[in-house]
Amino acid sequence: MDKYALNTDEEHTMDENGVHTDTDVVIVGGGLAGLAAACYLARGGASVRLYEKAARPGGRAATTVFEGYHLNLGAHALYSGGATEEVLRELGIAYVSHRPTDISVLREDRLYQFPDSISNLLRTKLLDLRDKLELGRIFAQLTGLKPASLARMSVSDWIAARARRPRVQQFLRMFACTNVYSAALDQVSAEVLIHKLQLSLKHPILYLDGGWQVLVDGLRQAAEQAGAQISTGVRVEAVEQRGRRVQGVRLANGHYVAARAVLIATTPREAIKLLDAVSAAPLGSYLATMLPAEIACLDVALRSLPDHAHPVVQDLEGPRFLTAQSRYAQIAPAGGAVIHTFKQLDPHHPSDPREDERELEGLLNRVQPGWRELLVRRVFLPRMDGVSMLPTTNIGGYAGRPKVQATGIERLLLAGDWIGEGFLADASMNSARQAAQLLLQQLSSRHIARAEAVLQ
Ligand SMILES: Cc1cc2nc3c(=O)[nH]c(=O)nc-3n(C[C@H](O)[C@H](O)[C@H](O)COP(=O)(O)OP(=O)(O)OC[C@H]3O[C@@H](n4cnc5c(N)ncnc54)[C@H](O)[C@@H]3O)c2cc1C
C-alpha cells in the first residue's frame, strides 16, 4: 500500500488531561483482525493506536503456555488457501506448520479409517460398497458447485438432497458439524460448507508450532515495527461522534483520544456497546438475527500421549471431535502431549455445560484411555464463539452479514469474524485488510478535501 499524504489542516483535539493526541486511526480490539489492520494501516503511513482491553493481545487466537505446553483456546487449525494465509504472506508473518494425517472415525467404540482420499475411501470399513459409491459421487461433484447459489439452502437440506443412504447421511452430518463449527445444520447455509470443502480439497489444514500465539506475536511485532502503538489492559468505552462524524474514543479510565477514524475490531456484542443509539441501530438489526457458532472445548496437557495410532478422531455418534495436535506441531515439551476436544453446539437446543464436559471426557476415555493418569493441566471452556455470526439461510449466507462500512458512518469501520465473506479467521483477516485499505483511501488528503467539500 502506498503511504498517503496526511491532511495537516484537520484539527486535532487534546484529551481531558491535556495530552495531545494526533492519531489517524484508533483500533478497538487486539485480536487477529485489529492487529492485521494495524499492520496494514501503519505500513500505509497512518498513525495508529490500538487498544486491547485484555492484559495481552490475541483475543480468541491467544495461546496459554504452561510448563512448556502451548494450549490454544480450543483446537485451532490454519485453513490454507484462504484470506488468513494470504494476509500473513502479504504481511511477512512467519510460522512453521504441519499437516495432520491419520484421521479416524469413532463408531460404537471402534475406530475406522477416515475416508479423506480415494484410497482411504476404498480401504475404510466404516462404509459398505454402496455407501462408498454414493459418498465418492458426492465428493466428485463438489468442485462443480457454486457455493453462493446455495446461500439460502441449509446444510441439512443439502445433505438430504444429495445423500440417500443413512450411513452416508450420518457421515456427512458429522463432517459438516466439524466444518461449520456448529450443530445447527438446519440453519447454517450450505454455502459455508461447500466453500470450505472446496478449499480443503485443494489446500491442506495446518497445525502451527507454538500454537496461534505465533501469529499474534508476529502481527504485533510487525505492527509495532511499522509504528503502531499498541496498549493492552485498556478498554475503550465509547466511540465519540459529533453528529455523523467520528471524533475519537473515550477510554474506560476517562481519557479521550482524538482520531480521524476508528476501526472497531471486536465481536458484534462488544461493538454495539461502543456506539450511541443512532449509530448502533444498523448493527442492532444484524444482532437480532445473529446465530453464533458455539462450541464447548476441553483441552488437556498430558505427560505423554496414550494412543499414537489415533491422534485425530471424528465421533460419528455426536458432534464431537478430538485432535492431539502435539503429534504434528511443536506445542509440548519432549514426550508430552496436547489434546484438544470440542463439541459443536446448537444454540436453539441448549445443553448443560457439565453434560458437555462429561461427553468430551467420554470421548477422551474411548480414544486416549489412561489420559487422566497422565494429566498435567486441563482447561474446560464451556461456551466459546468459534464464529460470532454464522452465515445462516435466513440472512442469505455471507451476503447477509454486515460489511466493513455497516455503521454507515464515514471513517467508522468494522472488522472481525462476523464481517463480510470468509469463515472463522478468514473473515477477520479479510475484513481487516478491506477496512485498512478503505481507511487509507478515506484518509488521503485528496479524499478528505473531497469529502469535506461535500459536507460544507
Ligand atoms: C474454540 C475455537 C476454535 C477456533 N478454531 C479456528 C480454526 O481452526 N481456524 C480458524 O481460522 N479460526 C478458528 N477460530 C476462530 C478464530 O479464533 C477467530 O476467528 C479469530 O481469532 C477472531 O479474531 P478477531 O480479531 O476477529 O476477534 P477476537 O479474537 O474476538 O478479538 C477481539 C478483541 O477485542 C478486544 N475488545 C473487545 N472489546 C473491547 C473494548 N471495548 N476495548 C478494547 N478491546 C476490546 C477483545 O478483548 C479481543 O481481544 C476458532 C475460535 C474458537 C473460539
Q: Do 167 and 184 sit in the same domain of this protein? A: yes
Ligand 1 contact via 295 beta carbon (within 6 Å): yes
Taking only the tens place, the pLDDT of each residue in 171-229 is 999 999 999 999 999 999 999 999 999 999 999 999 999 999 999 999 999 999 999 99
Q: Do 395 and 323 sit in the same domain of this protein? A: no
pLDDT confidence of residue 21: 56
Q: Do 203 and 297 sit in the same domain of this protein? A: yes
Q: Do 312 and 192 sit in the same domain of this protein? A: yes
Ligand 1 contact via 71 beta carbon (within 6 Å): no
Q: Whose CA is nearest to atom 20 of ligand 1?
A: 425
The answer to the question of residue 343 being in a domain is yes
**In whole angstroms, what is the distance from residue 344 CA to residue 61 CA?**
18
Q: Are 421 and 387 in contact (CB under 8 A)?
A: no
* 302 pLDDT higher than 90: yes
Taking only the tens place, the pLDDT of each residue in 362-392 is 999 999 999 999 999 999 999 999 999 999 9
Ligand 1: which atom is nearest the Cα of residue 271? 38
Q: Are 363 and 313 in contact (CB under 8 A)?
A: yes
Kindly report the average pLDDT of the chain as a whole number.
93
**In whole angstroms, what is the distance from residue 6 CA to residue 20 CA?**
17
**In whole angstroms, what is the distance from residue 126 CA to residue 107 CA?**
8
The answer to the question of residue 90 being in a domain is no
pLDDT confidence of residue 445: 61
Using the mean position of ligand 1's atoms as its centre, give its distance from the Cα of residue 352 in Å: 24
Ligand 1: which atom is nearest the Cα of residue 57? 49
What share of residues in the chain are helix, strand, coil (percent, to 5)?
Answer: 40, 25, 35
Q: Could you tell me the pLDDT band of residue 8, with boundaries at 50, 70 and 90?
A: very low
Q: Could you tell me the pLDDT band of residue 51, with boundaries at 50, 70 and 90?
A: very high
Q: Do 117 and 200 sit in the same domain of this protein? A: yes
Ligand 1 contact via 182 beta carbon (within 6 Å): no
Taking only the tens place, the pLDDT of each residue in 82-100 is 999 999 999 999 999 999 9
Q: Do 442 and 300 sit in the same domain of this protein? A: no
Q: Which position has the grid cell 488457501?
A: 81
pLDDT confidence of residue 167: 97
Q: Do 193 and 310 sit in the same domain of this protein? A: yes
CATH number of domain containing 415? 3.50.50.60
* 453 pLDDT higher than 90: no
Using the mean position of ligand 1's atoms as its centre, give its distance from the Cα of residue 117 in Å: 32
Q: Do 320 and 354 sit in the same domain of this protein? A: yes
E strands in 351-423 = 375-387, 412-414
CATH number of domain containing 125? 3.90.660.50
Say which residue, 288 or 48, is predicted with more confidence: 48
Q: Do 313 and 369 sit in the same domain of this protein? A: yes
* 147 pLDDT higher than 90: yes
The answer to the question of residue 336 being in a domain is yes
The answer to the question of residue 82 being in a domain is no
Q: Phi and psi (nearest 5°) for 147?
A: -55, -40
Using the mean position of ligand 1's atoms as its centre, give its distance from the Cα of residue 305 in Å: 29
Number of separate domains in the chain: 2
Q: Do 117 and 258 sit in the same domain of this protein? A: no
What's the domain range around 395? 23-60+214-290+391-455
Structural domain ending residue among the three candidates 387, 402, 425: 387
Q: Whose CA is nearest to atom 49 of ligand 1?
A: 59
Ligand 1: which atom is nearest the Cα of residue 267? 30
**In whole angstroms, what is the distance from residue 326 CA to residue 332 CA?**
6
Provide the CA 212 distance to its chain's centre, in angstroms: 11
Ligand 1 contact via 306 beta carbon (within 6 Å): no
The CB density around residue 245, as the number of other CB atoms within 10 Å, is 14
Structural domain ending residue among the three candidates 329, 357, 387: 387
The answer to the question of residue 87 being in a domain is no
Using the mean position of ligand 1's atoms as its centre, give its distance from the Cα of residue 240 in Å: 24
Ligand 1 contact via 266 beta carbon (within 6 Å): yes
Structural domain ending residue among the three candidates 387, 417, 434: 387
Ligand 1: which atom is nearest the Cα of residue 75? 3
Q: Do 256 and 370 sit in the same domain of this protein? A: no
Q: Which of 16-25, 279-288, 350-359 has the lowest mean pLDDT?
A: 16-25
